[in-house]
Amino acid sequence: MHFDVIILGSGPGGYIASIRAAQLGMKTAIVEKESIGGVCLNWGCIPTKSLLNSAKILQSIKKNGDLFGINHENIEINYAKIISKSRKVVDQIRKGISFLMKKNGVHVIYGNAKLKKRKRIEIFKNEKSTEEHSASHIIIATGAIPKIDEKIKYNTKKIITYKEALSLSSLPKKMIIIGSGSIGLEFAYFYHSMGTKVSIIEVCPKLYPNGDDEISDYLKRYFDKIGIENYVSSSIKKIAYKNNEVVVDVQTSFKNIELKADIILYAIGVIPNIQHIGIEEIGIQTEKGFIVVDENYRTNIGGYYAIGDVVPTPSLAHVASFEAINCVESIKGLNCHEIDYNNVPKCVYSLPEIASVGYTEKESIKKGFQIKVSKFPFSALGRAITDENTDGFVKVIFDDKYDEWLGCHMIGGHVTDLISEVVVARKLEATSYEILSSIHPHPSLSESIVESIAHAYGKAIHL
């Protein structure tokens, strides 16, 4: 069968591309080898947030129950029910996406796809069943897979990735997490909240490697306080198995230590999922494991495109979705605005949450800006005090010469929602004057943004 567009992969890049293409009147098909929604929906963004919500409710009751007049004696954790709830959420959203695709007339094909020349795709249903389709345009949106250290023998019983961590049959007593990006930090918080003794090993000198230094320092102090062990500037020298435990020799910045656990979670990142799909046979150009594309996500081979985690842009669901729309609208001949990748929000949904956009303080200085920097702590904010959620702060960075909002970095409760105001303001090139001239509701957490900016310009009232 011939289509206008065929998309490989139904994650937040692929399914968005398919729906938008269908809306624009293109005959569209999407190929998925497992479940609609890809990793993000089935084994990533969505189920982890369900688990984290359970953890936050539990910790809130334990920490503040007495203050709010709530008797919380004899709290019991039903771990199986927590996992079951996360899978029900996944199922509900998956059905919703499937409905939208059916509503828009997207043709869904299940199977393993292999790219062929002349814009054809071979679909392997099973060992004996194949079918072939063609399209005027083919979009590769196959996402990413966990990155595993090749020196370590992967063992799904003792050494796991995020996929296994989402549905362990029982709660481990001790867990070692290797890597402290968003995946590692979120699972560290969840399992710690459930009662697991958690240790994090990170090779970089910062606990939150890609974040602002002050955010990372605050997170490290917070994790130290609540009992999540963390070792930065550290590397694994050896992994062994003894008495049904995993024994890890770790070289820290000051000494060698030995850690023992029931299980190891590998969270050192992801790599593009482009193996065995015919990239090489067609001649699609790659660099450092990523597919090379232009500003409209066209590969070097006409009619073939790539979006999301398979291209060298931030590996985030919302980035893949934006790229999907731009790619499809470009195919249709519409005028598209290039994505400003410096205005992409990055979030971690642990507690405290982390959210950031734009340049860090170090990056701003390195780029030669003369900057104004300020922080406003949630401990000075009325709404945060009423909620007993005073951990963290909002940090803003402005260019002193042109009053450009260079960056914003937050750590605390609900900051993954607050960051959207900053993204829109920076998109509209708002200055400090415009933000300070905009009335924010009281009491609200959004006041922290105004107060932080006011403090940078010597106008703070509450600090």
- The CA-atom distances, in angstroms, between 338 and each of 289, 290, 313, 325, 331 are 23, 19, 13, 11, 14
pLDDT per residue over 261-305, tens digit each?
999 999 999 999 999 999 999 999 999 999 999 999 999 999 999
Selecting among 2, 276, 442, 462, the annotated active-site residue is: 442
Q: Which residues pair with 415 in a beta bridge?
A: none
Report the sign of the C-alpha dihedral through residues 426, 430, 431, 432, in that order.
negative
Query: Looking at the predicted structure, is the pLDDT value of residue 155 above 80?
Result: no
The pLDDT of residue 390: 96
Query: Looking at the predicted structure, is the pLDDT value of residue 175 above 90?
Result: yes
Query: Looking at the predicted structure, is the pLDDT value of residue 125 above 90?
Result: no
Query: Looking at the predicted structure, is the pLDDT value of residue 66 above 90?
Result: no
The pLDDT of residue 291: 98
Do 8 and 113 touch, CB atoms closer than 8 A?
A: yes
- The CA-atom distances, in angstroms, between 100 and each of 95, 321, 385 are 9, 15, 42
Share of the chain above pLDDT 90, in %: 86
For the chain, give the mean pLDDT: 94
Arithmetic mean of pLDDT, 439-461: 95
pLDDT per residue over 43-56, tens digit each?
999 999 999 999 99
Within 10 angstroms of residue 264's Cβ, the number of other Cβ atoms is 23
Tally the C-alpha atoms within 13 A of residue 340's C-alpha that lie toward its C-beta: 13
pLDDT per residue over 222-272, tens digit each?
999 999 999 999 999 989 888 889 999 999 988 899 999 999 999 999 999
Query: Looking at the predicted structure, is the pLDDT value of residue 8 above 70?
Result: yes
Domains and CATH numbers, the chain: 2-146+271-341 (3.50.50.60), 159-268 (3.50.50.60), 352-456 (3.30.390.30)
The pLDDT of residue 153: 67
* Residue linked to tokens 């009335």: 439
C-alpha of 65 from chain center: 31
Q: Which two tokens stand for residue 450?
A: 């105004």
Confidence of residue 362 (pLDDT cuts 50, 70, 90): very high
Residue 63 or 322, more confident: 322
- CB burial of 409-436 (b: ≥16 within 10 Å; e: otherwise) equals bbbbbbbbebbebbbebbeeebbbeebe
Query: Looking at the predicted structure, is the pLDDT value of residue 137 above 90?
Result: yes
Is 192 one of the annotated active-site residues of the chain?
no
